[in-house]
Structure 1
Amino acid sequence: MNKNHAKTGKQYLLLMVRLLLVKPAFSYLEVIIVMIILTTMLHLQFNNKIHSTSFNSTESKIKILISEFQYLKSKAIKEEQSVILIFKPHTNTIKIIDSHRNNYQPLVIKNGIVHPYTNLKYIAFDKHGHNHQFGSLYITLDNTMYKIIFHIEKGRMRYEKI
């Protein structure tokens, strides 16, 4: 009985080896072709995504400007002193000073100006990040007008395209 069992075990092993050798698989060339196709598809997908969300669009420029305002607000909190942003209509710069009267490099609005509709002459962030006045700052970027709205509660701000 052991002889027959050993014989069938060897036969089974030989059969499995033959199946593994005979079983079709991908060749290296086929794998390389598949990888080239996948790489090309991924490249086209990411390239299209990058071009669709351009960093030079007016939407991204206004978001960058608001992030600059957020940075100045956090600077006021960190340094525990007020930071004041001064808006002058028909200019492309926003002047920045702190409570110790230190002048900072002004914010430059690239391809844009502060529109005269603006009902704020300045906005001040205190050492807690709050501003104590509310109003709207109108910015014209690349012939598109945006309204940045400053809220009193917690120094929040948002923008709208007009």
Structure 2
Amino acid sequence: MKHQLARNFCAFTMLETLLVLSLISLFTLLSISSLNGSQYYDIHSESKAKHLVSQIVYLKSKAIKDQNSITLLFNRGSNEVKVVEDRKNVTIIRLENGIIKDNHNMNIVTINKDGQLNRFGSIYIKFDQTLFRFIFHIEKGSLRIEKQKD
């Protein structure tokens, strides 16, 4: 008898599950709609910048795996980054609603076969209305981004 009672109370009913899911959906909708337009665009711009960083980190790991150098070309006023692999294969990274701004100290970055960068410097890229500074660290072989103040 005890075994039959325990079996009846093991799981949620479909109605309870739908109720919980509808409440979660409602709270999610309310939290998204509470963001004003500028906050949404800031979040969207930041995700585009982080996506570019992840693409560059992928290229760094590809250079290590293939034991070939990879060169990134950043041309001022362009909305794309040219990627040259081992001086043969040229591909393009398109910057969605992005444009490369005035680069004061660099426009070419080379990642060698060990994943190290050839120089230290910064590149400014504007996504939508937000300006980001991409900082390449030669001693760490890494990249970080900073959101610039207007």
Q: TM-score, normalised by structure 1?
A: 0.71
SS at 1:153's partner residue?
Answer: coil
2:84 and 2:91 in contact (8 A); partners too: no
Question: Could you tell me how far apart the structure 2 residues matched to 1:125 and 1:85 are?
Answer: 8
Matches within 5 A, 1:1-150: 33-45=15-27, 57-99=44-86, 101-150=87-136
Question: Could you tell me how far apart the structure 1 residues matched to 2:85 and 2:15 are?
Answer: 62
1:145 and 1:161 in contact (8 A); partners too: yes
Letter of the 1:61 partner, please give it.
K
Question: Could you tell me how far apart the structure 2 residues matched to 1:104 and 1:50 are?
Answer: 40
Question: Could you tell me how far apart the structure 1 residues matched to 2:144 and 2:77 are?
Answer: 22
- Counting matched residue pairs gives 136
Question: Could you tell me how far apart the structure 1 residues matched to 2:19 and 2:26 are?
Answer: 11
Question: Could you tell me how far apart the structure 2 residues matched to 1:36 and 1:110 are?
Answer: 38
Runs of 5+ in structure 1 lacking a partner? Answer: 1-25
Runs of 5+ in structure 2 lacking a partner? Answer: 1-8
Q: 1:46: how far off?
A: 5.1
Structure with the greater alpha carbon radius of gyration:
1
SS at 1:106's partner residue?
Answer: strand
1:83-124 per-position Cα deviation (integer Å, ceiling 9, x unaligned): 00011100111111123x113321111111110134212001
C-alpha RMSD of the superposition = 3.2
More helix by share: 1
Q: 1:43: how far off?
A: 2.8
More strand by share: 2
1:58 and 1:141 in contact (8 A); partners too: yes
1:129 and 1:154 in contact (8 A); partners too: no
1:40-86 per-position Cα deviation (integer Å, ceiling 9, x unaligned): 1233345567887x798001000000001001111100110110001
Question: Could you tell me how far apart the structure 2 residues matched to 1:137 and 1:125 are?
Answer: 16
Q: 1:143: how far off?
A: 1.8
Letter of the 1:93 partner, please give it.
E
Q: 1:44 to 1:67 in 2, by over 3 A?
A: same
* Higher RCO by CA contacts (8 Å cutoff, separation 6 or greater): 2
Question: Could you tell me how far apart the structure 2 residues matched to 1:64 and 1:32 are?
Answer: 39
Q: 1:131: how far off?
A: 0.5
Question: Could you tell me how far apart the structure 2 residues matched to 1:33 and 1:98 are?
Answer: 56
Q: TM-score, normalised by structure 2?
A: 0.76
